[in-house]
Amino acid sequence: MKRNATLLIATLILAGAGLSFAGDSATDGVVTDNRELVEMPAETQAMMRAEMRDHLMALSSIMGYLADNDLATAAEVAEERLGRSSMGKHKGTRRGMGPGKYMPKEMKKIGHGMHDAASRFATVAASGDLNGSYVALHDVVAACAACHTSFRIR
């Protein structure tokens, strides 16, 4: 409860100060979106966005397990939903319609980096090292942030 209240206050302060956010720049109150547009078919876009929402759910559940000191389950969730094991899962749904083939090289690299980081996190968490798990989880979140700052699909 206390953590939620702190987050809310921080959000309100940021909004009130009218700061510009990562990937944007603001001149005289006009915000420019500097992210590179990556075009893909509507179906692929919807697939990617659904996958992204699952990434966020997975991250939330991983943090919950860490808070409960359940590192084994945090490791499982990370490997299955964010790690290398989760890669290429769209191929079964509709061949050739996955987002990967539309991504510029740099974007793909960040994506692979995120899957690698999640698998590394899973290994560290499975070993029972809580502090190491936080360090490894930061690499995962840093990859989310790096990609979101640089690319958009609409």
Q: Where does this chain bind ligand HEC (CB under 6 A)? A: 49, 52-53, 55-56, 59, 82, 107, 110-111, 114, 140, 143-144, 147-148, 151-154
Nearer to ligand HEC, 82 or 122 (CB): 82
Greatest Cα pair distance in the chain: 51
- Considering the complex, what minimum distance in angstroms separates the CB of residue 30 from ligand HEC? 19
User: Which sign does the torsion angle of CA 21, 26, 31, 34 carry?
Assistant: negative
- Considering the complex, what minimum distance in angstroms separates the CB of residue 107 from ligand HEC? 5
Nearer to ligand HEC, 71 or 107 (CB): 107
Count, in order, helices (H) and strands (E) of the chain. Answer: 5, 4
Q: Collapse the DSSP code of 137 into the 3-class scheme (helix H, G, I; strand E, B; otherwise coil) and give the result.
A: helix
- State the DSSP H helix or E strand holding residue 79, giving kind and residue range, or none if neither: helix 71-81
Nearer to ligand HEC, 126 or 146 (CB): 146
